[in-house]
Structures are given as structure tokens and as C-alpha cells.
Structure 1
Amino acid sequence: MKDLARLRSSVKESVELALNQQIQMEMISSSKYLAMAGWCDRNGLDHCAGFFYNQSEEERKHGMKLFHYLCDQGGTAFSPEIPAVSQEFDTLRSVFEGALDQEIAVTDSINRIIGICRREGDYATEELLKWYVKEQMEEEYIARRCLELIDQIPSDQVYYLDKKLASVTYDGNPFE
């Protein structure tokens, strides 16, 4: 039966493997953002916490989108193992540096998968991944902008950034 399912899958084995790795990466991102939210909560940064809680849920949705895509295409999606993530950060800046580093890693991974899709002639998966490319541009921009704001405000006024993050929506840019 498994061989029959493989014959019906429109996803090449190399793409399926890469997508399963990406699902894991998205779920790890979700876990990291949840840890960041918890740190912000513990440090009285309610809006930053809310921002990271939303980021955590968004990353989980990104992973689920890929999971469903693989299943819908006749591939095999695996429930990923999620390793423990750090729960502590030195400063709010280090939280956002971690967020930016994570987003850059996700962008690099998406770009790598697009390269695999092109080599394999998997145009359907490449089309799906165009959405992720656009999403990553936004995610990196927001993290970079937050770091710029952190650098511009005195450390005793970090709550300015916290208030600014209360207006973050995924349909617009809070910094414009």
C-alpha cells in the first residue's frame, strides 16, 4: 500500500524530506517564540509578550500549512521532534536578536528548498513557497526594525517599544 501511495505522490522524495525538515524548523521557531513570550511576560513587557505569543502561533500555522500540503499531495508528513529551547535571555535586545537570527535561518531554509524544487522540476511546491518568501521578508523587517528602535531609545524607556508592539498586525506595518 505504501508503494502505491508513493506512486501517487506528486512530491519528489528530496522535496518531501526538505519540507519535513522545514515543518520541524517552523515548530522549533514556534517553541522559541513561546519562550521569548514567557520571558517578556516575566519581565513586565506585556505587549512584547503578546507579540511573541502571536509569532509563536503564526509559526505553528506555517508548519501546519506545509504539513497539510504534503498530505494533500500524497506525500508523508511527519510530526517533528522539538528539542528544548532556552527560556532565559539577558535583555530585550537579545530576545529580538534571537528572533532575527531565527527568521534569517528560516529564510535561508526556504531558499534552499526552492533550489531543490527547481532542480526537481517541482513547480507546485515552488509556487507554494513563494508565499513563504514574502512572509519572511516581513518577518525579518519587523525584527530588524525592533532592534533599530531598541538601539534608539534609552534603556529606561524600553516600554516605548512594548507599547509600539501592541499595534502590530499581520496586514500592516506598525512602524509606518
Structure 2
Amino acid sequence: MSDKRISDDMEQALNRQMNQEAQQAQAYLALGVWAESNNYGGIADFFYKHSEEERQHMFKFLEYINTRGGEAKIGAIAAPADNPSNLKECIEDVWQHELENSRKIYDLVDKAMAEKDWPTFNFLQWFVKEQIEEEALIDGLRDKFALASEDRVNNANFYSLDRDMQDASQEAELPREQKL
């Protein structure tokens, strides 16, 4: 086995985040099941895809920890929260999940800086960018939902929102990256 090139404290923190990513994957999976059982097929597909993306994030942490000579440890994850009572609550819950995950990533960045662990700092920059994109993506979903739900008399708007989500990208394009 190679020499360990990561502090015990950083290894534990990265393991916690790795397991948090697994928790996020389960949460999105549960929301997908809820959406599908409530006939929001497009939204369910969006959440299923997002669940797989979160699982890929988990593997990035796992591989990094092991590459640095640490040991990735798969921990138990809690059951996802109870089903939302409606689509608005569902979307707002996802928004809060992403904001909380961003905070946790930023805390890891602060920790890497404090330890002067530049390889881990560099590794985490991908997640910083990813969280910016995640927040933009879900904030866009919140905006679309608000537009679709203003006319509560005609639920055809919900159908359009659901249909749009079926083919929605899992990535948001940042304004500075858009081609004019």
C-alpha cells in the first residue's frame, strides 16, 4: 500500500462528504419515486438522472481518498425524508439540499486551505464549480415552477413543466460560458 498523503482529519472529512453524496443520491432517488407515483414522469426522470450524478460524485471522493493513500469508508446512510406533500415543497426541498451541500463543500475547501493540503484543495475545485452549476440548475427549476404555477386555474402549465423536465439537461450553463 502506498504512503498516506492526506491527514487523518481530512480523510475523515472527505469520507463524511463521500457518504453525504450517497445520501443525496438516495434522496433524489426517493423524490424520483414520489414524482413518478404522482404522474410527474418528466420530473421523475430528472430526479433519477440526478440521483445517478450524485452517485458519481460519491465515487469521485472514494477514488480520491484511496489515491491519496487514505481509506474510503462506506458508512450507513439515513433513510430519505418523508415524501413532499406537493411539487412546490419537493422543489424547495431540493433547493435547500443543494445549498446545504454547497456549504459542506466550501467547508472542505476552507479545511484544505487551513491544512495547506493543495492537492485536496485542487480536487475540491471541481466540486465548487459543480455546486455553482447545481444551484443554477435548481434555481432555474424553481423559476420555471413559479412561472408554470401562477395560473392555478389551468393545470396545463404543470403538464408543460413536467414535459420540459423530461429532456432537461443535468447541467446548467453559467452566464459567462454562454456564447452570444
TM-score normalised per structure 1:
0.90
**Does the CA contact (< 8 Å) of 1:36 and 1:87 recur in 2?**
no
- Farther-moved stretch of structure 1 (105-114 vs 151-160): 151-160
Instruction: List runs of 5+ in structure 2 lacking aligned partners.
Output: none
Instruction: List runs of 5+ in structure 1 lacking aligned partners.
Output: none
**C-alpha distance in 2, partners of 1:59/1:152?**
27
**C-alpha distance in 2, partners of 1:142/1:170?**
7
> How is 1:71-150 mapped onto 2 (pairs within 5 angstroms)?
71-150=66-145
Paired residue secondary structure (1:169): coil
Identity %: 28
**For residue 169 of structure 2, what is the aligned residue in structure 1?**
169
Q: Deviations over 1:18-59 (max 9, x none)?
A: 101101110110010011000110011111000000110100
Give the CA deviation at 1:166: 2.1
Q: Deviations over 1:38-87 (max 9, x none)?
A: 01100111110000001101001101110111011100110121111124
Paired residue secondary structure (1:161): helix
> Which runs of 4 or more aligned residues in structure 1 lie more than 6 Å from their structure 2 counterparts after TM superposition?
none
**C-alpha distance in 2, partners of 1:160/1:141?**
20
Q: Would the alpha carbon gap of residues 171 and 144 (structure 1) be closer, same or farther in structure 2, given more than 3 Å must change?
A: closer
**For residue 59 of structure 1, what is the aligned residue in structure 2?**
54
**C-alpha distance in 2, partners of 1:161/1:20?**
37
Give the CA deviation at 1:150: 1.3
Q: Would the alpha carbon gap of residues 86 and 129 (structure 1) be closer, same or farther in structure 2, given more than 3 Å must change?
A: same
TM-score normalised per structure 2:
0.88
Give the CA deviation at 1:172: 5.5
**Does the CA contact (< 8 Å) of 2:24 and 2:54 recur in 1?**
yes
**Does the CA contact (< 8 Å) of 1:38 and 1:87 recur in 2?**
no
Size of the alignment, in residue pairs?
A: 169
Q: Give the residue type in structure 2 aligned to 1:20.
A: N
Match of 2:4 among 5, 9, 30: 9
**C-alpha distance in 1, partners of 2:102/2:81?**
21
